[in-house]
Amino acid sequence: MKQLVLVTAALVAAVIVSVAVTLPPRPIALAPPTDGSIPGIVHVHTNRSDGLSGPDEIAAAAAKAGLKFLVFTDHGDATRKPDPPQYRSGVLCLDGVEISTNGGHYVAIDMPASPYPLAGEPRDVVEDVGRLGGFGIAAHPDSPKPELRWTEWNAPVDGVEWLNLDTGWRLWAQQATGRSERWYARRRLLSALIDYPFRPAAVITSLVQTRPLAAWETNSRRRIVAIAGVDAHAKIAPRSADAGESRYALPFPGYEASFRVLSIHITPDRPFSGEPTGDARVLMRAIRAGHLYTAIDGAATPASFEFTATNEHGTVNEGDELGVGGAVTLRVRSNAPPAFTTIIWKDGAVLSADHHEPDFTIQAPAGPAVYWTSIRSTDQLHQVTWVRSNPIYVRGPEPAPRAEPRPAATTRVSMFDGTLQGWRVEHDRNSVAAVDVAPIVGGAELRFRYGLAGGASAGQVAALAYDTPRGLAGSDRLAFSIRAEHPMRISVQLRAGDDQGPAARERWKRTVYVDVSTQERTIFFDDLTPVGETHTFAPNFAGVRTILFVVDATNTKLGDSGRIWIRNATLGR
């Protein structure tokens, strides 16, 4: 018994010494802000998906942390009608969604319910969110988990999470299993686990990792809002799983602790009035315009920051665009501690550094450029970007470059002669499908009827098929006119024949949006992507034996039925 007491005492003493040595400092207390900004959080999960608590409890935690708005982003396919804006515990709460795509996660806010599930190719999800009027954010682009990491940078995303708290500990966990510095990473994680009960927000702050500049941050023609996401779940699951996926998930870090680590500060065009619908519009105008900055409150709080640019055209704030017109005067005002370092960036390179003044200006040459500001803490143990602005864009009158249009087809081969020759349907054993010829003024069109089985998702599919026994070696595109009973997205696919050996029945696809009015669509075959694993990224066109117009559970609700009309279907080159 005495030996057990001694061992216990030794362990307690070791923990006390470890905490005394490794416990991160409390945030530096700053003078009250004067910038008129409103602090809040984007990217929060509730118990409607994989978060620990309900919206009311989370909002109460946000109020304790001094936040004024929250944007919930539970996982989903965007078909659930979002809750209307409302105040909970004095915090304005908006309801968004985090959508899983084949190329990472996409957060959509300020958007009505989608008439069909949003999923599949990331470029298609970005297109759908934009069509529905939403604001989309590429989530955790530096996540070590491939299925979480956003990869489709050619898609016109509205915003990017330059920082994600959930990614921070995942990066440390990845380093802890790597070959270099794994023991240092393991010590950091062990210290964080021991220190967390004593100073949770400071411990989370100590795990924040900011990454190098990415291509989207230096693009002078494309406007993208830089935003931070807390990605709060109040759970930590094993590194191989998302929070909430495992019954072994640990119930921390808590919401309030996470909310004290960082915040985004919007600069509204008017103060919040207390009326949720109007205040939500104010909030979204600021977010869409990029009138916001990120502050790591775990380093110093409360933040106050202003960034402006002036030339002969006037003065603009972060997120805005300024015409080219003479030299540019950049001004930064903040309440950063004197030891913190302010840096002004131009086109991804340092323009002016080592500033410690609370209010200063610098001159920049005339000409197009992208300017932004960062302020770094000077903690020797853990330097972190304390404030990160949105860019100011100085641009000339020349339009943004556009992709060259594809040349018109010089040869065309009709796929529809007014009969069903070559056309048939395919479907799983529980779904139904049929095709017939429907007369129209001046001709006829194909009428495809489908009904997907309900219940759990189990490979429900209905497809209109066109056989190509000679292959498609002489074609590079498929053009057609299409309409449907209700808005939907279908997948146009090429399938290799049974005679193609190991590549038999492999498929490549491109999805298209279909509306109730007839629209012209052209699918270029070099724009197709593989369905699952294939032997080659692009199909062997000579071996393609079937063209498919597919309705499946990726972008269609289970149990849905309807009709699709197609005419003027041609192969071209």
The answer to whether residues 68 and 40 touch, using CB atoms and an 8 Å cutoff, is yes
Residue 90 in any domain: the answer is: yes
pLDDT tens digit at each of 573 positions of the chain: 655 544 444 444 444 544 555 788 899 999 999 999 999 999 999 999 999 999 999 999 999 999 999 999 999 999 999 999 999 999 999 999 999 999 999 999 999 999 999 999 999 999 999 999 999 999 999 898 889 999 999 999 999 999 999 888 788 888 888 877 788 888 888 888 899 999 999 999 988 877 655 655 555 567 899 999 999 999 876 555 554 454 556 777 999 999 999 999 999 999 999 999 999 999 999 999 999 999 999 999 999 999 999 999 999 999 999 999 999 999 999 999 999 999 999 998 999 999 999 999 999 999 999 999 999 997 655 678 999 999 999 998 877 667 788 999 999 999 999 999 999 999 999 999 999 999 999 899 999 999 999 999 889 999 999 999 999 999 999 999 999 999 999 999 999 999 999 999 999 999 999 999 999 999 999 999 999 999 999 999 999 999 999 999 999 999 999 999 999 999 999
The token pair that represents 125 in the structure block: 């999800």
Q: Cα-flanking dihedrals φ and ψ of residue 428, to 5°?
A: -75, 170
The answer to whether residues 500 and 471 touch, using CB atoms and an 8 Å cutoff, is no
**Per DSSP, what are the bridge partners of residue 264?**
40, 294
What does each C-alpha distance from 489 to 104, 170, 275, 355 come to in angstroms? 19, 35, 37, 52
Half-sphere exposure at residue 334, Cβ-oriented, CA atoms within 13 angstroms? 32
Amino acid, res. 30: L
Burial class of residue 516 (count of CB atoms within 10 Å of its CB; 0-12, 13-18, 19+) = exposed
Shared-domain flag, residues 138 and 177: yes
Count: domains in the chain: 3
Amino acid, res. 129: V
Domain with residue 503: its CATH number is 2.60.120.430
Shared-domain flag, residues 288 and 309: no
Shared-domain flag, residues 373 and 417: no
**Per DSSP, what are the bridge partners of residue 435?**
448
Quote the domain boundaries for residue 530: 412-572
Shared-domain flag, residues 200 and 333: no
Residue 255 in any domain: the answer is: yes
Shared-domain flag, residues 219 and 282: yes
Shared-domain flag, residues 355 and 492: no
Shared-domain flag, residues 362 and 483: no
Q: How many residues does the chain have?
A: 573
- For residue 127, which of 510, 457, 404, 547 has the smallest C-alpha distance? 510
- For residue 97, which of 123, 122, 118, 121 has the smallest C-alpha distance? 118
Shared-domain flag, residues 311 and 295: no
Q: Cα-flanking dihedrals φ and ψ of residue 530, to 5°?
A: -65, 150
Q: How far is CA 381 from the centre of its chain?
A: 31
Residue 12 in any domain: the answer is: no
The token pair that represents 16 in the structure block: 């006390």
Shared-domain flag, residues 151 and 258: yes
What does each C-alpha distance from 554 to 155, 349, 452, 463, 483 come to in angstroms? 20, 42, 12, 13, 19
User: In which residue are the tokens 């010089």 written?
Assistant: 410
Shared-domain flag, residues 106 and 56: yes
